[in-house]
Amino acid sequence: MILDGGLATTLEARGWDLNDPLWSARVLLDYPQAIGDVHRAFLDAGADCIVTATYQASVPGFRRRGLDERQAADCLRLAVQLALDARKAFREEHVDRADRVKPLVAAGIGPYGAYLADGSEYTGAYDVGDEALRAFHVERWHLLAGTGADLLAVETVPSGREVDVLLRLLEETPERWAWISVSCRDEGHLWDGTPVAEVARACEDVANVAAVGINCTAPALAGSLIAEVQRETTRPILVYPNRGERYDPGTGTWGPGDLAVDLAVAADEWRRLGAVGIGGCCRVGPDVIAAMRERLVGKEGA
Coil, strand, or helix at residue 157? strand
Position 37 in a domain:
yes
**pLDDT for position 207:** 98
**pLDDT for position 259:** 61
Q: Give the predicted TM-score (pTM) of the model.
A: 0.94
Position 87 in a domain:
yes
Among 75, 141, 74, 134, which Cα is nearest to 107's? 141
Contacts of 60 (CB under 8 A, 6+ apart): 115, 136
Position 100 in a domain:
yes
**pLDDT for position 260:** 66
Q: Residue 23 is part of a domain; what is its CATH number?
A: 3.20.20.330
Q: Which helix (H) or strand (E) holds 202?
A: helix 196-204
Count of domains observed in the chain = 1
Among 286, 295, 290, 293, which Cα is nearest to 6's? 286
Position 163 in a domain:
yes
Domain encompassing residue 148: 7-301
**pLDDT for position 300:** 43
Among 184, 45, 23, which Cα is nearest to 108's? 23
**pLDDT for position 244:** 80
- 18-37 burial code (b ≥16 CB/10 A, e <16): bebebbbbbbbbeebebbbe
Position 2 in a domain:
no
Among 171, 177, 173, which Cα is nearest to 212's? 177
Position 151 in a domain:
yes
Question: What is the pLDDT of the chain when averaged over all its residues?
Answer: 92
Position 1 in a domain:
no
Position 126 in a domain:
yes
Q: Which residues of the chain have pLDDT under 50?
A: 299-302
Q: How does pLDDT run across 28-59, given as a tens digit for each residue?
A: 998 999 999 999 999 999 999 999 999 989 99
